[in-house]
Structure 1
Amino acid sequence: MRHLLAAGMATLSLVVLAACGSPEEKSVHFTAAGDIGLGEGALAVLDTVAELKPDFNIALGDFPYEPGADQEFCDMVTGELGADFPYQLLPGNHESDGSDGDIKKLAACLPNRLPGLQGDYAEQWFVDVPQEEPLARIIVVSPGIEFPDGKLDYSKGSDRWNWTEKAIDGARAENIPWTVVAMHTPCFTMGRYACAAGESLTNMLISKKVDVVLNGHEHLYQRTHQLGFSDRCEYMTVKTVEKRCVVDTGDSMTQGRGTVFITVGIGGRTPREINRDDPESHYFASWSAGNHNSTLGTLDVTATTSRMDVKLVPADGYTFSDSFSIRK
């Protein structure tokens, strides 16, 4: 039996947390996963999302994996989560150019449902959640993604680079506690792909001390240590190990020291193998793939004014999990 989110979850809500007489804190709760498809794996992950009852979900790209199946994908999502649930899209390489889905058609049947969104939904946008007294700014960008008229330019100094930088700086200027950037393509990876996100853009996100960067594309789960810059490490080069840029290897981190990169390409498609001998493996704290603790599932994130708790929740039938926290 499939689990549907209650109608009350259709609009972003705040959860009130209380602990042992301490002051109550408001929170925002969201999930995130990409590389989904139309099979039983996708349904199992959507069931997990429904059981978690988040305020919204960030879908990290690559959706039906079939041409002409956009409405079928939308019907699957709304059938599991409800017609008004905020299932927020960013494009993957399969549907951005219309080859295995069409991002415009998907955005029409799974439209933005978060108030105050700025930018071009399902391409490049940001939103503060909740809209009043926000706890987090979610920033979506699309580097390395091929659209019908070509790839979007996120090179240093470009309009889209400047837009991204301004969105990050704006969150800090408005004293929004947490900044999350989401895009389909990762840079650091133990999987099969190169740094499609771009080395310069990735370094900019680290220099800005974005709290968490979320990716899909690789059909696996991988989570880095907290990576950051200092006088000892001022830039990170793809496929070259910069051990001094690893600022925290624990599971309880301090905000402002660096950035955690998480690939959650386990939304339904069969996991691929990971290369544990990849030079960048030194950056990673946790991983799951077809040849190591294979799992499907969703990232589950809760943020308050003082901390962000992040965990990987496996779908039914899987056991691998991961968790960490970032504190003020």
Structure 2
Amino acid sequence: MAGSLSTWVRAGLSAGLLSLTMVLAACVPGPPPEPVRFTAQGDIGLGAGAEKVLDVIAGLDPQLNLALGDLSYKAGREEEFCDMVTGKLGPEFPYQLITGNHESNGDDGDIDTFARCLPNSLPGLEGEYGKQWRVDVPEDNPAVRFIMVSPGIDFNDGEPLDYSRGSERWRWTEEAIDQARSEGIPWTVVGMHTLCFSVGEKDCDAGKAFTNMLIDKKVDLVLSAHDHLYQRSHQVELGASCPELVPDKFSEPCLSDKDGSMVQGQGTVFATIGVGGVGLYDVKNKDPEAGYFSTWSGKNRNPALGTLDVTVDAEQLTARFVPAEGYKFTDSFTIERK
């Protein structure tokens, strides 16, 4: 009996030590994620401006690029566009696509053809590449989740994909955001071609409800193109004094931070980078929505082609606008993690 008791005691101690070891291991944080550097821009074309912007991207040497739609602007010249990109950046570079309105229905190009000659190069991507997809980078211990969507874009049947409140694509987007948070991924970036508020020519093609959902979810950074200009918002947040952003109006209480150094969780930053190579649009600085923006560049004000250059790590998101050769406009901002 004494031997059996001793065996039980030893077994109990071993089990207790094992449990304690597991608890302590769970409390020890893993290594921080490796930094990720990416560039983003849209409205590109096939001209000298597009080549200048590609030269900037090549010089920055990011890990990937987000092409935010409106690629060749020419039907039947998809392969020429792909050759231009791979000639500047190499055939293996992750030049990641989301459709714009100029290649969604085939009139000025076909997104499926672009996706074949510039295929996904990132492991772990989920969804329909070119139209709606998500990916964590790096795949293991990610620093950022990219969620790429296509609200307000007409496809071959003449109808936009359904991103209305409660729709399947709305829920897919919400779940992708929520899951990133639950998994402890430091940063969430949503990209699309369309936008909702702007000092350019475009209206709220992305949809008011969908845009407000992204703000309500506190997405860190929302990237778009569509308007051929650069504009970057202040950090915007919903709350009791700002229940929603309304297109064509400005509400000061919706601004949570108005300088270039922001804190994660206090709102969302919107950046439009429709300056990938084609002709620029004018900035309408008297637009009612101008109060949401910190800075802008267009045909009539500080014109510049270029790209947004973003680096994320465990502690900070840093971004800057890098102009192409011959242009001078710049911008920079940071978001610190809590």
Q: TM-score, normalised by structure 2?
A: 0.89
What is the distance in 2 between the residues matched to 1:133 and 1:25? 6
Which residue of the partner structure matches residue 187 of structure 1? Answer: 196
Counterpart amino acid of 1:327? E
Is the Cα–Cα contact under 8 Å of residues 53 and 306 in structure 2 kept in the other structure?
yes
Which residue of the partner structure matches residue 114 of structure 1? Answer: 122
Q: Which runs of 5+ in 1 are unaligned?
A: 1-22
Q: For 1:149-184, what per-residue CA distance to the aligned partner results, in whole angstroms no more than 9, with x for missing partners?
A: 221000000000000000000100100000000000
Residues 75-114 of structure 1: pairs in structure 2 closer than 5 A: 75-114=83-122
SS in 2 for 1:205: helix
Of 231, 240, 249, the residue aligned with 2:249 is: 240
Residues 64-213 of structure 1: pairs in structure 2 closer than 5 A: 64-149=72-157, 150-213=159-222
Regions of 4+ moved over 6 Å: none
Is the Cα–Cα contact under 8 Å of residues 34 and 138 in structure 2 kept in the other structure?
no
Q: TM-score, normalised by structure 1?
A: 0.92
Kindly state the Cα deviation for residue 25 of structure 1 after the two structures are TM-superposed.
7.2
Q: For 1:221-250, what per-residue CA distance to the aligned partner results, in whole angstroms no more than 9, with x for missing partners?
A: 000000001222111111111110001001
Which range moves more in the overlay, 230-239 or 72-81? 230-239
Kindly state the Cα deviation for residue 24 of structure 1 after the two structures are TM-superposed.
8.7
What is the distance in 1 between the residues matched to 2:97 and 2:247? 28
Kindly state the Cα deviation for residue 26 of structure 1 after the two structures are TM-superposed.
2.8
Of 295, 303, 306, the residue aligned with 2:304 is: 295
Q: For 1:74-113, what per-residue CA distance to the aligned partner results, in whole angstroms no more than 9, with x for missing partners?
A: 0000000000100000000000001111100000000000
Which residue of the partner structure matches residue 68 of structure 2? Answer: 60
Counterpart amino acid of 1:108? R
Identical columns (%): 56
What is the distance in 2 between the residues matched to 1:318 and 1:241? 31
Q: Which runs of 5+ in 2 are unaligned?
A: 1-30
Looking at CA atoms only, which structure, 1 or 2, has the larger radius of gyration?
2
Q: For 1:291-325, what per-residue CA distance to the aligned partner results, in whole angstroms no more than 9, with x for missing partners?
A: 00000000000000110001000011111000000
Counterpart amino acid of 1:33? Q
* Bigger helix fraction: 2
Kindly state the Cα deviation for residue 195 of structure 1 after the two structures are TM-superposed.
0.1
What is the distance in 2 between the residues matched to 1:156 and 1:143? 12
Which residue of the partner structure matches residue 6 of structure 1? Answer: none
What is the distance in 1 between the residues matched to 2:202 and 2:238? 25
Assess, with a 3 A threshold, how the Cα gap between structure 1 residues 24 and 178 changes in structure 2: closer, same or farther.
closer
Paired residues in the alignment total 306
What is the distance in 2 between the residues matched to 1:287 and 1:209? 23
